[in-house]
Amino acid sequence: MQNSEYRKGIMYILFCQLMWGFLPIYWQSLEPIEPWKIILYRILTMFIYSYIAARFVYGRSEIWAQLKDLKAVGRSAAAGLVLTANWSLYIWAMNSEYVIQASIGYFIEPIVICVFGVLFFKEKLTKYNKVAIALAVVAIAVILVHYRQLPGVALGLAGSWAVYSAIKKASNQAPLIALVYETLPFAILATFAITYIETKGIGALSAGVPIKYASLWISGLVTVIPVALFGYAAKKTSLFVIGLAQYISPTITLLLGIFLFKEPFDKVQALALAIIWVGLCFFTYGEFKNTSKN
């Protein structure tokens, strides 16, 4: 039975990573609807689907009882703000020819989270972590020197998700309930914004493509499903498997950016990515050794 549950965990994490990896196709399929309008609908529908999912597990009183805990509500609002910023940057990147840079951001992400663990939770770095961080810095420096600009999308995505992860680490809320609280205040704002732009004739409906407008309403669902799969996988398999699998989605996204969306991918980007990959190999080996000891 234990092996069966472990296999289920692996299946869940693979489905989760495949969904995340291929999501750029969905976001780009929504054109000519502008990214900022997609973001508004995603914020609103994310709350709707999160609440529906939470109701399958918890009663109304259980969900809303935590409104009395102002500290938890404040933490959820902060997490929601960072999460909304991360999602917004991601969707903008998907529809603005920054798919490759976004994928690089998700390769850097576990290393940035590791740095946050040291800074805010006094976690200790292994020698493998240190090598991975140093190589990530070298890769960023290569891009900075060559292009004379920081890879803003990559760093923004990695940094915002690291901040979100740090806030979540300090929270003891159930994941689904937390997601309801994180999305609620922004869903209210998004509702007002959507109502205004649609009644003024400048919203998503003005694009004149009904099928794409209808597709907008599943934007929250395609977010909730992989998040739920990730949560189930985390309970059924090892953290090492979870960590190793998280490189699947940015690899798929990178390949989509190069071969499907035909974004420019030059030798400097390839070199920077190769350096990051070497760092990730050190990082993964270090995590494997640490997991084996425990």
pLDDT tens-digit series, residues 7-42: 888 898 899 899 999 999 999 999 999 999 999 999
Does residue 272 form part of some domain? no
Please tell me the predicted confidence (pLDDT) of residue 1: 43
Chain mean pLDDT for the chain: 88
CB distance 104 to 274 below 8 Å: no
pLDDT in tens, 49-77: 999 999 999 999 999 998 888 888 888 89
* Euclidean distance between CA atoms 241 and 234, whole angstroms: 9
pLDDT in tens, 182-230: 999 999 999 999 999 999 999 999 988 999 999 999 999 998 888 888 8
Could you give the number of structural domains in the chain? 1
Residue 293: band (very low, low, confident or very high) from pLDDT cuts 50, 70, 90: low
* Euclidean distance between CA atoms 110 and 112, whole angstroms: 5
CB distance 80 to 186 below 8 Å: yes
Mean pLDDT computed over 87-112: 91
Identify the three-state secondary structure at position 246.
coil
Does residue 117 form part of some domain? yes
Where helices occur in 58-126 by DSSP H, the ranges are: 60-64, 70-94, 99-121
Does residue 133 form part of some domain? no
Q: Any long-range contacts for 126-130 (C-beta under 8 Å, 24+ apart)?
A: 126/286, 126/289, 126/290, 127/286, 128/282, 128/283, 128/285, 128/286, 128/287, 128/289, 129/283, 129/286
pTM across the whole model: 0.88
Please tell me the predicted confidence (pLDDT) of residue 32: 92
Residues 231/234/237/240 CA torsion (nearest 10 deg): 140
Please tell me the predicted confidence (pLDDT) of residue 156: 94
Does residue 279 form part of some domain? no
Domain hosting residue 48, numbered range = 2-124+149-264
Does residue 269 form part of some domain? no
Does residue 214 form part of some domain? yes
Does residue 129 form part of some domain? no
pLDDT higher than threshold 70 for residue 240: no
Residues 50/52/54/60 CA torsion (nearest 10 deg): 120
DSSP code, position 91 = H
Does residue 41 form part of some domain? yes
Where does the chain show beta strands of DSSP type E? Answer: none
pLDDT in tens, 118-171: 888 887 888 888 999 999 999 999 888 888 888 899 999 999 988 888 888 777
